[in-house]
Structure 1
Amino acid sequence: MSNRKRMFVFKIRYVIATLVLLLIEVAIAFWSVHPFIRGFLGDVLVVLLLYTFLTSFLSFSSERIAFTVLLFAFGIEFLQLADLTEALNIQNPVLKIVVGSVFDPWDLLAYLTGFFIIILIEKLFRKNECA
């Protein structure tokens, strides 16, 4: 029998968190007009959404997944700086929303905020599980 850790798992609490965050993101997209909620808070929550989605089935450390999500979010933002949608002639409106079209340094702060929220919440969960 091998001592290798399984790469894939199923964590129901993260699946539930993913679904809740997805519903919140959809609600923000459809009904929020406040720029702080739509612009900043939505970007914070998208980092949490991606993290909970990946954590629901990947068996890596929370720090590793959180950092991967942060790098992905930063990567997308810097691709916006390079005007990727224009360079690739992306016409699909949904894909344009996902990729984004305008670089905003505040988005980087939002992604970092989401990252630190993840680290804080995971440390609190670990502390409570050990107690």
Structure 2
Amino acid sequence: MRLLYLLVVGILSVILAAIAVFGEGLVRTHGGDLLVVIWLYALIRLVTMMPKALAAVLTLIVAFGIEFGQVIDLAGQLGLGEGRGARLALGNTYDPLDLVAYTLGVGLAFILDRALSSAR
């Protein structure tokens, strides 16, 4: 199963990099948000022995925390406001629809993980 998580992290890393460079509109905004939480969930499952449900909750906490950090300009508060990498990772504009994308992405990751685990 760990190999599957590694594969998901690798493939999504490439897709997310392509979205960051070439993506526009809905694909760049909400599509990337949906995929990044699947990537984060798979990364957590790859590097920890954390149960699926806890990994899903942690993923949502991190994603929501970053999104709510945009309300207070967390990147700017941390002195990272000018860094492109920080802006890419922490974002710069709060959008409540991102919370929907995060929730859908984590739900999808969790459901697929459970389905694949029970299929073995």
Normalised to the residue count of structure 2, the TM-score between the two structures is: 0.92
Distance in 1 of aligned mates of 2:6 and 2:45? 8
Distance in 2 of aligned mates of 1:12 and 1:39? 29
In structure 2, the partner of 1:4 is none
Return the index of the structure with the highest Cα Rg: 1
* Unaligned segments of structure 1, at least 5 residues: 1-9
Runs of 4+ in 1 over 3 A off after TM superposition: none
RMSD: 1.4
Distance in 2 of aligned mates of 1:21 and 1:86? 28
Structure 1 residue corresponding to 2:19, chosen from 13, 25, 28: 28
In structure 2, the partner of 1:78 is 68
Structure 1 residue corresponding to 2:53, chosen from 63, 74, 78: 63
Deviation of the 1:127 alpha carbon: 2.9
How many residue pairs end up in the alignment?
119
Amino acid at match of 2:99: L
Task: Trace 1:1-131 onto structure 2 (pairs within 5 A).
Answer: 11-33=2-24, 35-90=25-80, 91-129=82-120
Distance in 1 of aligned mates of 2:108 and 2:101? 11
% identical aligned pairs: 29
Counting helix residues as a fraction of each chain, which structure ranks higher?
2
